[in-house]
Structures are given as C-alpha cells and as structure tokens.
Amino acid sequence: MTDMNEFKSARLAAGITQQEMADLMKIPKRTIGNWENDVSHPPEYVKRFVLNELESIAKNRNE
C-alpha cells in the first residue's frame, strides 16, 4: 500500500478540502474520510465517477 490512497491523492491534486469535496459532490464528509483512511470503499462505479470528477477539477484549476 502507498502512503496516500488514491482518493486523497486525487483530492489534493484538485486542490480542495474534504469539506469542499463533500459540498461539490454531495457526499458526506465522513464518507470521504472513511474512503481516504481505507475504513470503507465505494462501489467501483462510484470510485470511477469520483476520481474522474476530481481529475476534471484538477485539470480546470491548472489551466
């Protein structure tokens, strides 16, 4: 396992906090924290959607 999981890495690359991510995606902040700390894991389709959205946010901020 790496030092930082892919949700946290993608969120940080997007330059947003857990609270901002929660507000943007309508996901409870606790759920995001659980994903980032490997306490729980979303279904694969949710994982793909969330990571794609974070990647899109990161690209838009870097343009």
Q: Where do the domains of the chain lie?
A: 6-62
Segments of the chain scoring below 70 in pLDDT? 1-3
Sign of the dihedral defined by the CA atoms of residues 62, 46, 18, 23, in that order: positive
Cα separation of 44 and 25, whole Å? 16
**Per-residue model confidence (pLDDT) at position 18:** 98
**Per-residue model confidence (pLDDT) at position 1:** 40
**Per-residue model confidence (pLDDT) at position 31:** 98
**Per-residue model confidence (pLDDT) at position 63:** 81
| Residue 13 in tokens | 């690359």
Residues for the chain: how many in total? 63
pTM for the model: 0.89
* Rg (the chain; Cα; Å): 11
